[in-house]
Amino acid sequence: MSGPQPLSPGGPEQDTLALRLAGTPARARRHDDHTLTLRLPGRTGPDEEAVSLLAAELADRVGPAVHPYEVAALLEAEGLTAERIRRRYGHPNLFSLATALYEQVPRTYPEPPPTPDPWRPDHLRCLLRGLLFALPGLAYLLTAPLWHPGRHATALAVAGLVSWAWGQALGHRAHLRMAVGPREAARTLATGAPAGALLATGAALPAAHSGTALLAVAAQSLYLAAAGVLLVLARERLLLAALTPLVAGTAALYWTDPAPPLRTGATLLALAATTAAAVHALRRAHTAPPAASGNRPRLLGSVPHGLFGLAAGALVLLEGRQDPYAVIVLTVSMGPAEWLLYRHRGLGVRALRASTTPNGFLLRSTAVLALCLLGYLLPLLGGALLTGAAPVPLLLLAAALWTALLLQAFGAAWPPAAIGLAAAATAAAVTCLRPPAGAFTLPLCCGAAALCLLGCALRLLGRPARHA
């Protein structure tokens, strides 16, 4: 069969009562017309006015139909019987009336109803995370008169780089395990966080020339490990509560000069509270039922995230050597940066629904990328002007970091790691050589990295499959 069988009789015999003459062979009936046809009285054809009224009444539901059979199903659902169809509308059967309605009503295919944005960000949570990234810096301000952190900058920088790189890789692996279950993610964090703190402290040990510096490095590494656990487990409010003694001690500097025991006590109390909060969060997550199944992700998959954390930390430290206020502005902006990552995902899905051709989606995707990047850089420009920081190096570094995070959010981890490491290594090498034009090295490296990352983003995110 080449197609569906017609369910409605066709031809002029549909309104006739046909009586075949007995004894006529079938072959003969094909060529000779021996049929006695009797017309039924009172049948004058379809009632066009009644059909038009019915079409107007059902236009919103007949218009989207792609076949008369759909209209027939609609008429059945409306309760139209065969007797009513013949008497009221003058059509012999349901399918004849459905065909008439299908032909009379123009085709309309309305857009599907809007669906909730699956990437709608949590505004308060994103702002809180940006604040939490900056608050730990108050510890150096509060305890600076006691041990002069500038003298031990090398040890703190080495420990910070190792903690940053380890935390990025551990956070990625914990999020992968979170897809299996919170218990599995808690086990990963319970093993990886202490190991990262010990590794960072050990890496900075050769550069720590005093016991005070070693204690400061250990405290910094412990805090970064504990705070990373709370951030991965989405316990931002608990971390903010743990940092309350540090905030209160720093706020007291505006009215008085706290004694050394108060300065040290506020800092250590915040560290102890953060560590205790991390342990509590891990225990609570560990009480979740174990997952039925789930393969462990490969360790190699988290390596590029750790390498990018190392590169990003190095670039930020190099920028901090030239302009410390730029680092403060950049740190606070990490919360809005995360919010814009979510908005980019949501706007990308909206652009995909509105596009009908690949080139059209590419244009919309490019516009979305430009809009989100501009929305991130403009407030940073205001922050740089407000604090007196040089805007150009800050904006170039911020553009590179945000684009790299965007690529990571879409599963492309190696390009940001490779480009970031190349930029950080070049900037660090030239800075160590101290050429006459060394001040322009970091902006040039960050600008080149930003251009490369934007090219990768346009190529990757211009494909509809990445947003499906």
Domain ranges of the chain: 13-24+31-104, 121-290, 301-468
Q: pLDDT value at position 24? A: 39
Residues in CB range of 251: below 8 A, 6 or more apart: none
Q: pLDDT value at position 113? A: 73
Q: Give the CA angle between residues 236, 311, 334 to the nearest 5°.
A: 30
Distance of CA 325 to the CA centre of its chain: 30
User: Which DSSP state fits 117?
Assistant: -
Q: pLDDT value at position 152? A: 87
Q: pLDDT value at position 118? A: 79
What proportion of the chain, given as a percentage, has pLDDT over 70? 88
The HSE-up count of residue 128 (CA atoms within 13 Å, CB side) is 16
Q: pLDDT value at position 176? A: 92
Among 105, 96, 81, 92, CA closest to 44: 92
Q: What is the mean pLDDT of residues 149-155?
A: 86
Distance of CA 400 to the CA centre of its chain: 18
Q: Is pLDDT at 13 greater than 70 in this prediction?
A: no
Q: pLDDT value at position 42? A: 47
Provide the token pair at 187.
Answer: 């086990």
Instruction: Identify whether the C-beta of residue 186 lies closer than 8 Å to the C-beta of residue 282.
Output: yes
Residues in CB range of 212: below 8 A, 6 or more apart: 147, 152
Q: Is pLDDT at 276 greater than 90 in this prediction?
A: yes
Q: pLDDT value at position 294? A: 64
Q: What is the mean pLDDT of residues 126-143?
A: 92
436 — pLDDT class (breaks 50, 70, 90): low
Beta bridge partners of 17: 38
| pLDDT, greater one: 32 or 415 | 415
* Digit-coded pLDDT (tens) for 74-95: 999 988 888 888 888 989 999 9
| Average pLDDT along the chain | 87
48-52, 103-107, 435-439: the lowest-pLDDT one:
435-439
Q: What one-character-per-residue DSSP string does 388-407 give?
A: T--HHHHHHHHHHHHHHHHH
The rounded distance, in Å, linking the Cα atoms of 408 and 406 is: 5
Q: What is the mean pLDDT of residues 147-163?
A: 90
Q: Give the CA angle between residues 357, 465, 370 to the nearest 5°.
A: 70
* Ramachandran sector of residue 23 (left: φ over 0; alpha: ψ -120 to 50; beta: rest): left
Among 298, 386, 373, 385, CA closest to 337: 373
Q: Give the CA angle between residues 365, 371, 372 to the nearest 5°.
A: 95
Q: Is pLDDT at 279 greater than 80 in this prediction?
A: yes
The rounded distance, in Å, linking the Cα atoms of 231 and 171 is: 9
The rounded distance, in Å, linking the Cα atoms of 267 and 316 is: 24
44 — pLDDT class (breaks 50, 70, 90): low
Q: Is pLDDT at 43 greater than 60 in this prediction?
A: no
* Digit-coded pLDDT (tens) for 353-408: 888 888 999 999 999 999 999 999 999 999 999 999 999 999 999 999 999 999 99
3-state helix, strand, coil in the chain (%, to 5): 75, 0, 25
Distance of CA 117 to the CA centre of its chain: 11
* Digit-coded pLDDT (tens) for 286-325: 888 887 666 788 889 999 999 999 999 999 999 998 899 9
Provide the token pair at 260.
Answer: 């050394």
Specify the 3-state DSSP secondary structure of 227.
helix
Among 176, 219, 189, CA closest to 283: 189
Instruction: Identify whether the C-beta of residue 17 lies closer than 8 Å to the C-beta of residue 64.
Output: no
Q: pLDDT value at position 292? A: 66
Q: Is pLDDT at 35 greater than 70 in this prediction?
A: no
| pLDDT, greater one: 38 or 347 | 347
The HSE-up count of residue 468 (CA atoms within 13 Å, CB side) is 3
434 — pLDDT class (breaks 50, 70, 90): confident
Among 384, 389, 393, CA closest to 441: 393
Q: Is pLDDT at 444 greater than 70 in this prediction?
A: yes
Q: What is the CA radius of gyration of the chain?
A: 36
Q: What one-character-per-residue DSSP string does 265-298 give?
A: HHHHHHHHHHHHHHHHHHHHHHTSPPPS--PPPP
Q: pLDDT value at position 33? A: 39
Q: Is pLDDT at 234 greater than 80 in this prediction?
A: yes
Q: Is pLDDT at 461 greater than 80 in this prediction?
A: yes
Q: pLDDT value at position 293? A: 66
In this structure, what are the phi and psi dihedrals at residue 17, rounded to the nearest 5 degrees?
Answer: -105, 110
Tokens 């069988």 found at = 5
Q: What is the mean pLDDT of residues 188-217?
A: 94
Q: What is the mean pLDDT of residues 271-300?
A: 88
Q: pLDDT value at position 438? A: 62
Instruction: Identify whether the C-beta of residue 346 lies closer than 8 Å to the C-beta of residue 467.
Output: no
pTM of the predicted model over 0.75? yes
Q: Is pLDDT at 37 greater than 90 in this prediction?
A: no
Distance of CA 408 to the CA centre of its chain: 10
